[in-house]
A and B are shown apart, each in its own frame.
Chain A
Amino acid sequence: MSELPNTNKGLVVIGGSAGSTEEIYYLLKHLNGTLRKSIVIVVHGKPIYSIVTDCNWTISTNLNFVLIGQNQTIKPNTVYFAPDGYHTLVESQSMFCLSVAPLLHYCRPSIDLLFTSAAAVFKHKCTGIILSGANQDGCAGMQEILRQGGNTITLAATEASQPYMINVCIEHRAVSMVMSKAELANFLTGV
């Protein structure tokens, strides 16, 4: 999997705690069309890729769903899932990489590590989204995306399964937009 020329229009990183599977289902169900960007989803403590691909969720979409492996190439129009038990990082605009470094905020995968490395590589072409969260993980990553010129969005706290993280991000001025589920689905379809 050698590096391809960069055809990538940007990366959307989405983070959530174990409770956010419902929200992810909603978003994936409403995604349609062709995306110029790539999306990557990281969820704490749940094998989200197998949940999405194994179960009877009826997601009809022309998007590709990919579980991230070692040195995974990043392609547009694809939704990537961070594997459980590993940290996923963005190595370059065309490659993810994995690490089994220690847990961060009791979590592996860590939202902060993914978001921070995505921000360093994609700068203003990086969008960070927090759906839910029960601990601090995610806030530092959102701050870093903002600092590098990207956008940061959270789900409206009233709609989140776990609003704690969203509120922490807002308190730390790490959020540029707050959206409802429907707005978020609409936003993602356009990226």
Chain B
Amino acid sequence: MTKSFEQIDKVDLEVELVMTTLKQMFGYDFSGYNRAPLKSRLLSFCKEYQVDSVIDIVKPLLHSPSISKELISYLTVTVTEMFRDPVLYQFLREYLPEYYQTKPYVKIWHIGCSSGQEVISLSILLQELNLLGGSKRYATDLNPMALEKAKRSSYQLANLKLYIKNYLASGGSHEFSKYYVVENDSAVFLPQLVFDVKFAQHDIVAEPAFTGADIIFCRNVMMYFTPQQHLAVVNKLVAALPKGGLLCIGLQEYIPDEVKALRKLKHGVPIYERIA
């Protein structure tokens, strides 16, 4: 059925045209993502790149595909920080030593690791608990540019103040500067912190989940999904976890009521155990 001319929101339509192009030309499928954040990211993309309107992104996308990486980086929102939501890391600091005792080694999967701050945060925590040697980790993201940054583990010095504040709030008590060296205006974190990590491009919506992870981090990734997509991905993660496996999500994220197999471990901490 066609809508009357006034009913059509032109910008919404333009957003869909960009999404269709991204899917058909590059295989990125945003159909299960909330529209409002995508639209606002596209509008700021236009502002930053001095493009008149959203529809004007389609043509360059069709003819010089190199801008697709830039655009994907914009749309996927890669903003992250170390020890984000310190309560989670504080909880893990107490919980993990006993958890590791039951296993020869623990496999951990960071989904949507972005530029890697979450991975390094866990490295530091595991190192301080003497558990890094007993860990095998995967860190994946949809966005290839973010993964490149993650592999370099090099972050602007200006951000360190926030990271250290979070680290201290999470119960860390070591001299933070022992974990990195300064190069120009960056803090480069030590390679031995991520020796166990395999980085790979992976789309948690479109591709099957890896199996065998004991702990999954999927934080501030599902936030962007529609309720239907969110439920589907949570179910996928539950199926990938063994009983007793852990799922860490973001502080403002939730587990849908329909999902009965997960139990929150502690009030106020975004971590769940698979119980069935």
Contacts and interface: CB of A to CB of B under 8 A. Distances in A.
Interface of A: 1-3, 68-71, 83, 86-87, 89-91, 95, 97-102, 113, 116-117, 120-121
B2 interface: no
Given A99-B223, A117-B39, 20 more contacts: A1-B227, A1-B254, A2-B227, A69-B254, A71-B226, A71-B227, A71-B230, A87-B37, A91-B35, A95-B227, A97-B36, A97-B37, A98-B252, A99-B37, A100-B77, A101-B40, A101-B79, A102-B79, A116-B40, A120-B39
B77 A99 contact: yes
A70 B249 CA distance: 11
B220 A100 contact: yes
B227 A90 contact: no
Contact of B40 (A68, A86, A117): A117
A70 B79 contact: no
B37 A90 contact: no
Interface in B18-72: 34-37, 39-41, 44
Contacts of A3: 227
Given A100-B79, A100-B220, A89 B36 contact: yes
Contact of B36 (A68, A70, A90): A90
A98 B227 contact: no
Given A1-B256, A70-B254, A120-B9, A100 B36 contact: no
Contacts of B223: 70, 97-100
B228 interface: yes
Interface residues of B, number: 26
B72 to A, nearest CB: 14
Contacts of B250: 70
Contacts of B224: 97, 99
19 contacts: A2-B228, A69-B252, A69-B254, A70-B223, A70-B230, A70-B254, A71-B226, A71-B227, A83-B252, A87-B37, A89-B36, A91-B34, A97-B36, A97-B223, A97-B224, A99-B224, A100-B223, A101-B79, A121-B36
A83 to B, nearest CB: 6
A2 B252 CA distance: 17
B73 to A, nearest CB: 12
A97 B37 CA distance: 8
A1 to B, nearest CB: 6
A50 to B, nearest CB: 12
A91 B224 CA distance: 11
B128 interface: no
A117 B40 CA distance: 8
B253 interface: yes
B40 A71 contact: no
A97 B34 contact: yes
B228 A70 contact: no
B142 interface: no
Nearest to A108: B79
B106 interface: no
A1 B77 CA distance: 23
Interface string B100-132: 000000000000000000000000000000000
Contacts of B254: 1, 69-71
Nearest to A102: B79
Interface in B136-187: none
Nearest to A110: B40
Nearest to A67: B252
B222 interface: yes
B81 to A, nearest CB: 9
A138 to B, nearest CB: 15
Give the 7 A-B residue pairs with the shortest CB-CB distance, closest first.
A89-B36, A99-B37, A97-B34, A91-B36, A117-B36, A70-B253, A69-B252
